Amino acid sequence: MAIESIKYAAPDTETKLETKVFPRPGQHTSGIIDWLTTIDHKKIGIMYGLTALFFLLVGGVEALLIRSQLWSHNMEILTNRQYNQMFTMHGTTMVFLVIMPLSAAFFNYLMPLQIGARDVAFPRMNALSLWCFIAGGLTLNLSWFFTGGSPAIGWFGYAPLTDTRFAEVIGDMGPDFWIFSLQILGLASLLASFNFITTIINMRAPGMTMMRLPVFTWMTLIVSFLIILAFPAITIALVELMFDRTYGTNFFDFLEGGKPHLWQHLFWIFGHPEVYILILPAMGIVSEVIPVFSRKPLFGYGLVIFSGAIIGFMGFAVWSHHMFTTGMGVVATSAFSILTMLIAIPTGVKIFNWIGTMWGGRIRFDTPMLFALGFITMFMIGGFTGIMHSSVPIDAQHQDSYFVVAHFHYVLIGGSLFGLFCGFYFWLPKMSGRMLSEKLGKFVFTLMFIGFNLTFFPMHYLGMIGQPRRTHSYNEGHGFETWNQAATIGSVILGIGVAIGILQFVNAFFNKKLKPAGKNPWDARTLEWTLSSPVKDYNFARNPIIKARDQAWENNYGPKENHSEKEPLDDHGVHMPDRSWYPLVTGVGLFGLILGMLFHASIDSSGELVRDYTFAIAGGAIAIFGIIMWSLEGPAGYHLFPKENEE
């Protein structure tokens, strides 16, 4: 429905309709209105990043509370319900509000620059993705303030934990908040992915063939396909759960013939591709960083991409390894076990490619490279324990123990988060135009590396000796105390490291004393490094004509025939689409719609259930109004006339 028009709308006819309601901000808008109405992929990327870093702090505080509770036996910092709420919110926040949007921040900022485009294919839809993401983050965290507090169902929301009849608190709204926030976050991811797919397939600069695309852009494409094919499963599962909770259907109600087991399947059909949605962007970042700091092209470019695609494809065929202990039968269990073992092959190929890239290279140990090396080593440990879990008997032994917690934190922090921090240290000079302090960066890396290993390595051992996960305390005499205390100390060190890192990133945008970055501070390889830092609004003054992979490197060091050329300057200048209020209006409408759905039911004085949809309908009407006005206003726009090399 919300389809952008690419034609240059004649402003005199098409903008008449909307001027009365929300006048379109003009070319020279600045300040808060600029950020609220922007459709520039770079600004949207920065907003994604900053919001996600804020949620990283929120999720981190939740993690620290969990660790404090586990400091010693029978601690009472959190009650068992509060503990359940903490790990639910920690998991949901870190997956949906931190790692995914941080990846989306890089997708948004970098991908159009890497393919030589002026923006994504549908800039206003991109803005709507951002507002939906923020609405989802707000909705999830609003749950703290209403009946029952935040959800206590785990980030997986297994039935029958979500059944209203088993709620610990009467009228518990936590799971409802969880359902609706995940729905709108899913919408945000879907819209963004449609956009990225179209952009990468259709808006490459002349000469930028698919096999010249930077690896990070390739991973963006693969992740976008994973999102559009995996999210529908969770969306429908959540719709069914919403019907169960709100309208009394029987999808997951075992008393009426529903199967809680189905929820697990639907959740993990989404949930396992989700794991690759979280890790592939980090792999893309690392594949960009290692060649730069080894001063060598990526070893086996084609194989790295092919492995990424295979991982994405096979990611849809291994979901049941999360459910080995549910009793699926020998055949299904064996099949999923074998496929899970197979998926280690493309992952291993990538690791050998990174090592091959460094082999014989002139390696510089700048902060981004340290994080990339941290990524490889930590991710390998997480990968090895992952292969252990693919074996069914071992999995049965590890199920629900701290060993599993250790495994996926090695993959998600040691892997994803280290990869994303690597990306920040690498590309922030491009985004902010200023160099970050190497000294502070290395200090952050040291804190994070030590803190992370001190927190999660002992969990392998704790799991092996039997400490169960998702359990709010343990008794004396199991010998759990020592390593739990080590883990808690480690988590504080990790938290301090992450917090300093975030301050450093934010500081880069405001601190004028930092050294200016220039176009290509790292002597890097891909197209975005041919542009000034920060990048101009229009990205490219003239469309580049691509002659080789690693174009920035070829321009500096390659043979003459590999140097990129530029299309002649257009007499009409660079067309820039106008800013628009309607993505924000539509986002606010959708936020109103889900709030209206959350609070539509109440019990009147006679104990009858009353449903009042006024607020939900009002929200929906605002959203529809936004979409209609959006399609009528068209992209419109103005023209800029940059000089020859002003980019």
Q: Mask: binding to other proteins, 530-569, rule CB under 8 A, as x and -?
A: ----------------------------------------
- The residue within the footprint of other proteins, chosen from 244, 274, 366, 528 (CB under 8 A), is 244
Q: Residue 54 interacts with other proteins (CB under 8 A)? A: no
Q: How far is CA 639 from CA 169, 545, 643, in A?
A: 59, 22, 13
Stretch that binds other proteins, among 19-27, 165-173, 356-364, 409-417 (CB under 8 A): 165-173
- The residue within the footprint of other proteins, chosen from 329, 609, 643, 645 (CB under 8 A), is 609
- The residue within the footprint of other proteins, chosen from 22, 71, 156, 243 (CB under 8 A), is 243
- 413's CB contacts (< 8 A; 6+ apart) are 378, 452, 456, 494
- The residue within the footprint of other proteins, chosen from 72, 82, 249, 485 (CB under 8 A), is 249
Q: How wide is the angle at C-alpha 98 spanned by C-alphas 353 and 520, nearest 5°? A: 50
Q: Residue 247 interacts with other proteins (CB under 8 A)? A: yes
Q: Residue 593 interacts with other proteins (CB under 8 A)? A: no
Q: How many CB atoms lie within 10 A of CB 518?
A: 12
Burial 621-632 (b: 16+ CB within 10 A, else e): ebbeebbbbbee
The nearer residue to other proteins, 164 or 377, going by C-beta atoms, is 164
Among left, alpha and beta (phi > 0; psi -120 to 50; other), residue 477 is left
Sign of CA dihedral 206, 208, 210, 214: negative
- Per the listing, tokens 């390889």 go with 525
- 102's CB contacts (< 8 A; 6+ apart) are 48, 49, 52, 53, 56, 420
Q: Which two tokens stand for residue 280?
A: 């592939």
Q: What is the C-alpha separation between 194 and 201, in angstroms, rounded?
A: 11
Q: Residue 272 interacts with other proteins (CB under 8 A)? A: no
The nearer residue to other proteins, 511 or 602, going by C-beta atoms, is 602
Nearest distance from residue 560's CB to other proteins, in Å? 26
Nearest distance from residue 115's CB to other proteins, in Å? 9
Nearest distance from residue 400's CB to other proteins, in Å? 26
Q: Which two tokens stand for residue 119?
A: 């923006």
- Per the listing, tokens 């039935």 go with 159
Q: What is the C-alpha separation between 112 and 268, in angstroms, rounded?
A: 32
Q: Residue 167 interacts with other proteins (CB under 8 A)? A: yes
- The residue within the footprint of other proteins, chosen from 87, 131, 180, 231 (CB under 8 A), is 231
Q: Which two tokens stand for residue 476?
A: 């004396």
Q: What is the C-alpha separation between 377 and 385, in angstroms, rounded?
A: 13
Nearest distance from residue 258's CB to other proteins, in Å? 6
Q: What is the C-alpha separation between 407 and 460, in angstroms, rounded?
A: 8
Q: Residue 164 interacts with other proteins (CB under 8 A)? A: yes
Q: What is the C-alpha separation between 282 and 219, in angstroms, rounded?
A: 9
Stretch that binds other proteins, among 31-39, 236-244, 497-505, 612-620 (CB under 8 A): 236-244
CB 149 within 8 A of CB 85: yes
Nearest distance from residue 424's CB to other proteins, in Å? 29
Q: Residue 605 interacts with other proteins (CB under 8 A)? A: no
Nearest distance from residue 507's CB to other proteins, in Å? 38
Q: Residue 274 interacts with other proteins (CB under 8 A)? A: no
Three-class DSSP labels, 364-407 = CCCHHHHHHHHHHHHHHHHHHHHHHHHCHHHHHHHCCEHHHHHH
Q: Mask: binding to other proteins, 3-22, rule CB under 8 A, as x and -?
A: xxxxxx----x---------
- The residue within the footprint of other proteins, chosen from 100, 237, 428, 616 (CB under 8 A), is 237
- Give φ, ψ of 327 to 5 degrees: 80, 60
Q: Residue 235 interacts with other proteins (CB under 8 A)? A: yes
Nearest distance from residue 244's CB to other proteins, in Å? 8
Q: Mask: binding to other proteins, 175-214, rule CB under 8 A, as x and -?
A: ---------------x--xxx-xx--xxxx---x------
Judged by CB under 8 A, the number of residues near other proteins is 62
Alpha carbon 343 to its chain's center: 22
Nearest distance from residue 325's CB to other proteins, in Å? 21
Stretch that binds other proteins, among 77-85, 169-177, 445-453, 547-555 (CB under 8 A): 169-177
The nearer residue to other proteins, 170 or 330, going by C-beta atoms, is 170
Stretch that binds other proteins, among 237-245, 412-420, 527-535, 555-563 (CB under 8 A): 237-245
The terminus-to-terminus CA distance of the chain in angstroms comes to 35
DSSP label at residue 8: -
Q: Residue 68 interacts with other proteins (CB under 8 A)? A: no
What is the binding site for other proteins (CB under 8 A)? 1, 3-8, 13, 121-122, 164-167, 170-172, 190, 193-195, 197-198, 201-204, 208, 228-233, 235-237, 239-240, 243-251, 255-259, 262, 266, 269, 601, 603, 607, 609, 611, 628
